[in-house]
Amino acid sequence: MNFNGLKSNVVYFRGLKRHNIPYVLVWVIFYAWIVAFASWWTASPNVKNVFGSVDRILIQSALLTSSLVFMFFIKKKWFVKVSRIIAAFSLFGLALFFLATSVIPRVIGLVVFGISLGCVSLLVFIPMVFRLNNTEKLYASIISNICVSILLIIQNMHNGKILPPASDLILFLPVVIIAIATIIFINRKTVVLYEEGRDDNIPKVGFNIYSTLFFNASFVIICIGIGVGVLNTSIKKFGSNVAVWYFVGGVIGCVIFYTIYALFPKAILIVGNISFGFVSLGFLCSAFGAQASEVIVLFALLLGIGNGAGMIVMFYVIGIVGKKINSLKYLKLAILFVGIIGGVGGMVLGNLLQYVNSTQVSMFASIISALFLITFMIMSPLLAQEHIYDGWAKDTEIIDIDNDKMYLFEKYQLSKREIEVCRLLLKGHTLRQISAMLSISYSTVNTYCTNCYRKLNINSRTELLILFKDYIE
């Protein structure tokens, strides 16, 4: 255990930068609301919320599909403007859903609402990936998932008549207002969209990078999709108390994630295995103790712990890798694999299990899922190989990635090479050193330097250091 190295660890609070706190809050609020109120896998079959299970399926399907289409086809220069226009339709869709008296207009309202949220979610997700440092990503992921679990514990307690009937609206309306309002201060300069291109500081993208999408998609299908399908089958039989224990497990999973990151090296590999391990044990409890309420409660708790830690791992890894390779392509594939293949695939399988509502089918699904996860854990030592670990995993343990704070240069209209020269100047390198490092002539470096000073309206390296003091910190 590394207690002495805590201050240099990614969990150290000093890694949180004041200028990025609003983006952390935006992510926490928006993510917590989406998951708690509009995701199918948090809809308990015994609890009536603002959006029912079918409503959530429509919203989530529209959200995932629209985010994929939006990401692939909207030009980056139109991104923020189009997002804001479409965001206005979210309020229209929501109003139509609440005010309409017939089924078809309500369905249209839900679809419009979901499509709008898909676009808005990218406006929140992209700064989380490209702007926040690793510490900010970590706390944003942990806090948002804790908020989700707490909100859902409260909602499921409703079934026990602990909360008043109006509690759903009390919880829902303030959050949705804040969630929609989060886009107001996000503009084109603050949403950093990196383009694909050659950069000597960016590692070659290979299977080790894109394999992260496979594991995340597998997690969503098996742990979230099938796991929640089995869970909801148990809730129908044993009551909402099972759901409460599941979300209590979610809080515990977040605590376990934080503790491991604070104390152990190669934490991402450990947490990944622990997440799959808890879910596997949960599936085995469900498979062989489906008739005992005590065992089912244990299943819900173990599943919640694994899923709570796993959700943090998923978003944290996508954020780390996306920023490390400065790749919009990776983000597009993340939405395709994790959102569409994982999210929609898991939703189909989970709802199929609920529809069948058979103890035998749930038992079979639990055994198969547990065997898959156990097989993965047996093979997981391969992930500890140095060439794989060095590919991206070790970056999850440090506060900053080298290509951090690129947004500081965006407003000055510097070219990619000029930014590169500026960054090396800020690190203390001379022009001749930069010439050797970039394999370009001294005169070319001098030209880039002159252009930088002109665009920045400065005359010396001292002024450059003062102007970009936030980059140096």
* 35 φ, ψ (degrees, to nearest 5): -70, -45
pLDDT of amino acid 203: 44
- pTM value > 0.85: no
- CA 48, distance to chain mean position in Å, is 27
Tokens standing for residue 258: 């934080």
> What is the per-residue pLDDT for 249?
95
CA dihedral 76, 80, 82, 88 (to 10 degrees): 160
Sequence-separated (6 or more) residues with CB below 8 Å from residue 314: 216, 219, 220, 338
Q: Where are the domains of the chain?
A: 11-397, 412-472
First to last CA, the chain: 28
Looking at residue 337, the DSSP 8-state letter turns out to be I
Instruction: Pull the structure tokens for residue 242.
Output: 């099972």
Distant-in-sequence, close-in-space partners of 38: CB < 8 Å, separation ≥ 6? 51, 56, 59, 60, 63, 114, 117
pLDDT tens track, the chain, 473 positions: 343 344 457 888 878 888 788 888 888 988 888 888 888 888 888 777 778 888 899 999 999 998 888 887 766 666 667 777 777 778 788 888 888 888 999 999 999 989 888 888 887 888 888 888 889 999 999 999 999 999 888 888 765 455 555 566 666 666 666 666 665 656 555 555 444 433 444 444 555 667 778 888 888 999 899 999 999 888 888 877 888 999 999 999 999 999 998 888 778 888 888 898 899 999 988 888 767 788 889 999 999 999 999 999 999 989 888 887 777 778 888 898 898 999 889 899 988 888 887 777 878 888 888 888 887 777 666 555 544 555 567 778 777 765 555 656 766 778 878 888 888 888 888 888 888 878 888 999 999 999 889 888 888 888 888 888 766 55
3-state secondary structure of 243: helix
Whole-number CA gyration radius for the chain: 24
Q: Does domain 11-397 have CATH number 1.20.1250.20?
A: yes
Determine the pLDDT at residue 150: 92
Domain 412-472 has CATH 1.10.10.10: yes
Which amino acid is residue 28, in one-letter code? Answer: V
If you ran DSSP here, which 8-state letter would residue 78 be given?
A: G
DSSP state at residue 48: -
Task: Write down the pLDDT at residue 408.
Answer: 66
